[in-house]
Amino acid sequence: MVARRVLPLNQERLKRLEQLQSLPEKAPLPPRALLRAFLEPFIGQQIELGERTAPFGKLMARLWIEREEMPRPPLAMDDLVAQFAAAACRGRNDLERAEAAERLEYAVSATVRMLHRARTTKTDDEDTAADRLERLIPFLAAGLETPGSQRRGAAT
């Protein structure tokens, strides 16, 4: 069940990443576009499936958070994050891949939290997950744009 829902998402993410990487070779990739490529397929699935995604969303959040404790993380999520982290570092010498990956994990966590709040917090307006993501992307992009901590030197 997990693979049936996640593999198409990851294929769409990689397709979008490939399109972004077709920009001029050494130019940094726009953080907002990178985040959209990573997060929009997930949000689209959530919108498409509606309330039926709540149990699956909880399972995926748990797998995401606890994947480091598993002998073999599910569905190569770490590979996917590594590819997006490398893309976030492209054309930059102030951000290491490990730190970019950590920032992407924060973005996923914030998005999952936003979706959870959307399901548990009832409001009178028609605020959709897509609307909430539109507000969240600039906030998350600021995190990717911020220079790295330079703890271990230049980006790899």
Q: What is the pLDDT of residues 33-85, one digit of tens each?
A: 999 999 888 887 776 766 555 666 666 666 666 666 665 555 567 788 899 99
Q: How large is the angle between the packed helices 31-49 and 129-145, nearest 10 degrees?
A: 160
Q: How far is Cα 11 from Cα 105, in angstroms, rounded to an integer?
A: 18
Q: Is residue 71 assigned to a domain?
A: yes
Angle (deg, nearest 10), helices 97-120 and 54-66: 150
Residue 155's pLDDT is: 45
Q: Within a domain: residue 67? A: yes
pTM value is: 0.78
Q: Does 47 or 134 have the greater pLDDT score? A: 134
For residues 88 and 29, the answer to whether their CB atoms sit within 8 Å is: yes
Q: What is the pLDDT of residue 62?
A: 67
Q: Alpha carbon of 149 to those of 19, 59, 139: distances in Å?
A: 29, 32, 19
Q: Answer with the residue of higher pLDDT: 32 or 123.
A: 32
Asked whether residue 150 is domain-assigned, the answer is no
Owning domain of residue 87: 2-21+31-145
**How many domains does the chain fold into?**
1
DSSP, residue by residue, 105-146: HHHHHHHHHHHHHHHHS--SS---HHHHHHHHHHHHHHHHHS
- Assess if residue 42 is contained within a domain: yes
Q: Please, which contacts does 114-121 make with residues 24 or more away whose CB atoms are closer than 8 Å?
A: 115/43, 115/46, 115/57, 116/57, 116/61, 119/51, 119/54
With respect to residue 57, please indicate whether it lies within any of the assigned structural domains: yes
Q: Is residue 153 part of a domain?
A: no
Supply the pLDDT for residue 156. Answer: 44
